[in-house]
Structure 1
Amino acid sequence: MQEKPFIIKKTYKDLGRIKRPKNLSEETKKEILEKLFQKNPEIFSSDKEIQKQIRERLDWIEGPNYILPKIGELKDFAERIKEEFLNIVWCGMGGSALFPLVLSQIFGPKEGYPNFYVLDTNDPENIAQIEKLPLEKTLFIIVSKSGTTIETLSQFKYFWGKLENLKSNPGENFVALTDPGSPLENLAKELNFRKIFHHPPFIGGRYAALTEIGFLPACFLGLDINKALYYAKNMYEVCLPDIPWGYNLSASLAEFLMERYIQGQDKLTFISDPILRPFTLWLEQLVAESLGKEYTGIVPIVGESPGSPTVYGTDRTFIYLTLKGRERIYQRLIMELREEGFPVKTISLEDRYEIFAEVYRWMLAVALCGYFMSLNPFDEPDVVLTKQKTKEFLEKFKKERDFGIEFYLDEETNWGFF
């Protein structure tokens, strides 16, 4: 008889390790923020090994200050590229591709700049669409923090093979963005890539939107970089530890999310102006991958068609993301939700560029939620496990032409397992 898989049925909240922000003194709250800005990992774990891992993921707390010295180089490179190439293809997965995708969908390329495509899949149809482009006039940006991402390297190998048949120096059509000393950097040097940019080694992928991961595509698209930096820097400054908790935009957002979580309203539902809707894709990964672990999580819900209050369960919390002057799009629905007692937080942006500010607000708020939930918001254990298992399956298939995977459906829960 086939053994049933183990199913977790109790929640993390049963463990009683949740810290409630409203029960903490202003002095304690300030101290938490100060330690985070000092990159002190002790607030997240007492385990020395985990502290070491967290310490190596905290440079994002510097916000736009990290990228400021590098902006000139990014701009100059983008200006040279637009004179030579018609298309740019950004190849990456997850956090390496989501914010570039957001920028391309919210802004699109400025007139006179190359077409910009994000390839975050190995689906044959998507690959075929890119293959239709004039490849000699296409620049491929190969992005992998570790330099070992299977999907991204597969994309590279495929298009390298195509370009190798078209020109004698295919490396001119490739740029690498990766950690210093990674296998991808070594490969890029060996094959004479046009350029190698370094991913900041102490910033994880989903916290990297204000690094080259965000600002290199912003330059390729011809965005107003000074305006983007202005909004990001303003948000950084109003989130510093000296700002009282109630006026600190990140801290107050974290307290709102935690209070709702403690009340069992852990389905964080984003209702967004259509112009800003792509940004919720990035928010989804940030929240889910940072806080969805150890049998708990705040569950982000994006892309759902808004309905009347009667269709929502009592576990919902709403974020209304809108642009000033366009609030009326969902104004009636928001009013009805509030009248029915649903918690709704409205975030109204001056213009599209303010998403650069929201990136910092949400990264800090999510990190604080991780502290209050007594978990590490900077690791991704199931992602790592999935990569390991995928590699094992592929190796097994190469040897035996069989993945060796069985499917099981649990009749009680109707959950499927591989």
Structure 2
Amino acid sequence: MSSLSLTLSGAARQAAEHQVPGLLDHEFASRLAAKDHTLWGVDAEEEASKRLGWVALFEDSRALLPKITALREELAAEGVTRVVLAGMGGSSLAPEVICATAGVELTVLDSTDPQHVAAVVGADIEKTVLVVSSKSGSTVETDSQRRIVQQAMTEAGIDALNRTVIVTDPGSPLAESSAEAGVRAIFEADPTVGGRYSALTAFGLVPSGLAGADLESLLDDAEETLTILAEDDADNPGLRLGAAIGGTAPLRNKLVLVDVGSPLIGLGAWIEQLIAESTGKNGTGLLPVIVADGEPELHRDDDDALITQIIDVEVEDGASVDNDDADLVVSSHGVRTGGSLGAQFILWEVATVVAGALLGINPFDQPDVESAKTAARGLLDAPAPEAGDAVTDGALSIRTLGGGALTEANPTDLSQALQALVKSVPEDGYLAVTAYLDRTTETQLEAIRAQLSSLAGRPVTFGWGPRFLHSTGQFHKGGPHVGAFLQLTASSSTDVQVPDRPFTLAKLIAAQAEGDAQVLAGHDMPVLQVHLNDRTAGLSQVIETVDAL
């Protein structure tokens, strides 16, 4: 039996009480279940008409399970037990959550950091099957990862095509080239489901199933929950959550996410991408801010923050719970939700499109993700000259871009630069730390997020590049331009050539970082670029400097 719990308080509850009656008048829930593409206005109709397959996917998804199981058993019989997933954004975040929650091993390759990629391809390649997940196959990160892993297999004497599984849309360039090449298996996903809504399609199921996760229970819980969310009922938790996050007045657009004992490992990162990329556009949107348990106290009095707790809960009848228990939420304005993973996937997907309707935006496109990609491609084709305004501080090089107090300060060391960056955060703004580093071995850097939040008195997000470009990167550029940015890059003693491409990973990740910084600065937002000339010493210097502040 699926479990689902939802508690709203303060502004969140007021928003639901105010907005849900209008949603009921418009029969939003039942029309969504019927794939009504007119729910988000005329401008969104064309895109919405092609992106609502996620509300009716269960028959097709269940049909995949025997094929996934059979392939897993074949691979295991051959001694192939390690699953490496090459994919970005929606193609990798859901499988990561599914497998972590199930306690099965999945290696997610969603980075262009040469140190990280080299470590992945250098471990147990003889036991590895590569799953390449991409709707078109044109995503530069995924294409580069595929080429690198396949070459490593070939060099190890392994038939790389026999160890490659493709997940893509029917008729995509990747599907056609893979069929012609003769890969081990091709799984076609529903083309009417966008990437960030694809958790329960082949994109979420294939790598998770090959890794050993229980997919039947996941689908059962999600389908049972969807029957509740399809009802035009005042207690519909999808309508209530969507109204709570998208309907506060004035809008509380910093969604502070905190895990308080949930068994759903990493769900916050999946929610972050779903909401930021779906809503952050047209100068509005919701910015998820993932924080540690206890830290929401920093934001309980922020009038633009909505505290959202993800909890461990078992509700026997699978119904929604909504009450005024003040002890349940650390803030007087908040959301508390829990339940099975399948239930949470569907709940947040429905809530996101409800919020999109209330915000007056199209929740299915991502127009500003492309801007950073375009800038990065331009730098790969015609590399920018070396910047002449960098300041050296120990193991670091520092540059400032964009407008505001940061560039006017002309800092000469990291401490001065960080203080100027913090001062440049608007009263209704946020600070984003974007680290183009190794998210598996350099995690000690994440501690600076809470420290900077305490220093700035504002929400601070932390994103690993280039992964965040497919997530909060959309909000950074498409949402309100009230962000300040600390970008961290590093030199690497290891570099990896991308086979049959005129660039290495070091060149690619540098272009991605610089392209993103240029787009942000082009919106007149302050960007502090900190490059670690010596990776180990530079990392220590950053952490020590923030500690001292």
Q: TM-score, normalised by structure 2?
A: 0.63
Q: Which residue of 1 aligns with 2:303?
A: 314
Gaps of 5+ in 1: 1-19, 110-114, 326-333
Q: For residue 266 of structure 1, what is the amino acid of its counterpart?
A: N
8 A contact 1:309–1:336 mirrored in 2: no
How far apart are the structure 2 equivalents of 1:220 and 1:229?
A: 16
Q: Which residue of 1 aligns with 2:233?
A: 245
**Alignment deviations for residues 95-147 of structure 1 (CA, whole Å, 9 cap, x no partner):** 110011112322222xxxxx421111021121122122232321100111121
| Shift of residue 23, structure 1, vs aligned partner | 5.6
Q: Which residue of 2 aligns with 1:378?
A: 364
Q: For residue 86 of structure 1, what is the amino acid of its counterpart?
A: T
8 A contact 1:142–1:175 mirrored in 2: yes
| Shift of residue 274, structure 1, vs aligned partner | 5.7
- Does residue 214 (structure 1) correspond to residue 207 (structure 2)? The answer is no
- Does residue 100 (structure 1) correspond to residue 95 (structure 2)? The answer is yes
8 A contact 2:126–2:158 mirrored in 1: no
8 A contact 1:108–1:116 mirrored in 2: no
Gaps of 5+ in 2: 1-17, 315-324, 390-398, 406-423, 426-483, 486-516, 519-549
| Shift of residue 337, structure 1, vs aligned partner | 8.0
Q: Which residue of 1 aligns with 2:541?
A: none
Correspondence list, 1:4-403, <5 A: 21-22=19-20, 24=22, 26=24, 28-30=25-27, 32-47=28-43, 50-84=44-78, 85-109=80-104, 115-167=105-157, 169-240=159-230, 243-259=231-247, 261-272=248-259, 273=261, 275-307=263-295, 309=297, 311-312=299-300, 313-324=302-313, 338=329, 342-349=332-339, 354-397=340-383
How far apart are the structure 1 equivalents of 2:160 and 2:306?
A: 50
Instruction: Percent identity, please.
Output: 26
| Shift of residue 155, structure 1, vs aligned partner | 0.8
Tell me the C-alpha RMSD between the 2 structures: 2.8
Q: Alpha carbons of 1:227 and 1:371: their partners in 2 closer, same or farther (altered >3 Å)?
A: same
Give the match's secondary structure for 2:291.
Answer: coil
How far apart are the structure 2 equivalents of 1:338 and 1:172?
A: 51
Q: Which residue of 2 aligns with 1:329?
A: none
Q: Alpha carbons of 1:402 and 1:148: their partners in 2 closer, same or farther (altered >3 Å)?
A: farther
**Alignment deviations for residues 218-273 of structure 1 (CA, whole Å, 9 cap, x no partner):** 31232333222221111011111xx24322221121122234x3233222112212
Q: Which residue of 1 aligns with 2:466?
A: none
8 A contact 2:326–2:332 mirrored in 1: no
Q: Alpha carbons of 1:200 and 1:276: their partners in 2 closer, same or farther (altered >3 Å)?
A: same
8 A contact 2:243–2:358 mirrored in 1: no
| Shift of residue 401, structure 1, vs aligned partner | 7.5
**Alignment deviations for residues 75-101 of structure 1 (CA, whole Å, 9 cap, x no partner):** 222222222203110111111100111
| Shift of residue 168, structure 1, vs aligned partner | 6.5
Give the match's secondary structure for 1:67.
Answer: helix
8 A contact 1:316–1:342 mirrored in 2: no
Q: TM-score, normalised by structure 1?
A: 0.81
More divergent stretch after superposition (127-136 vs 87-96): 127-136
| Shift of residue 22, structure 1, vs aligned partner | 4.3
**Alignment deviations for residues 350-394 of structure 1 (CA, whole Å, 9 cap, x no partner):** xxxx11111011101111111111110000001122222222221
How far apart are the structure 2 equivalents of 1:403 and 1:190?
A: 44
How far apart are the structure 1 equivalents of 2:224 and 2:166?
A: 31
Q: For residue 72 of structure 1, what is the amino acid of its counterpart?
A: P
**Alignment deviations for residues 272-303 of structure 1 (CA, whole Å, 9 cap, x no partner):** 12633411110000011111111111121113
Q: For residue 244 of structure 2, what is the amino acid of its counterpart?
A: F
| Shift of residue 403, structure 1, vs aligned partner | 10
| Shift of residue 187, structure 1, vs aligned partner | 2.5
Give the match's secondary structure for 1:238.
Answer: helix
How far apart are the structure 2 equivalents of 1:58 and 1:226?
A: 22
| Shift of residue 208, structure 1, vs aligned partner | 0.1
8 A contact 1:321–1:347 mirrored in 2: yes
How far apart are the structure 2 equivalents of 1:45 and 1:129?
A: 47
Q: Which residue of 2 aligns with 1:3?
A: none
8 A contact 2:258–2:308 mirrored in 1: yes
How far apart are the structure 2 equivalents of 1:25 and 1:201?
A: 28
**Alignment deviations for residues 173-192 of structure 1 (CA, whole Å, 9 cap, x no partner):** 11111112222222212322
Q: How many residues align?
A: 374
8 A contact 2:255–2:307 mirrored in 1: yes
Q: For residue 408 of structure 1, what is the amino acid of its counterpart?
A: L
Give the match's secondary structure for 1:42.
Answer: coil
How far apart are the structure 1 equivalents of 2:369 and 2:380?
A: 16
How far apart are the structure 2 equivalents of 1:346 and 1:393?
A: 44
Q: For residue 352 of structure 2, what is the amino acid of its counterpart?
A: V
How far apart are the structure 1 equivalents of 2:385 and 2:402?
A: 25
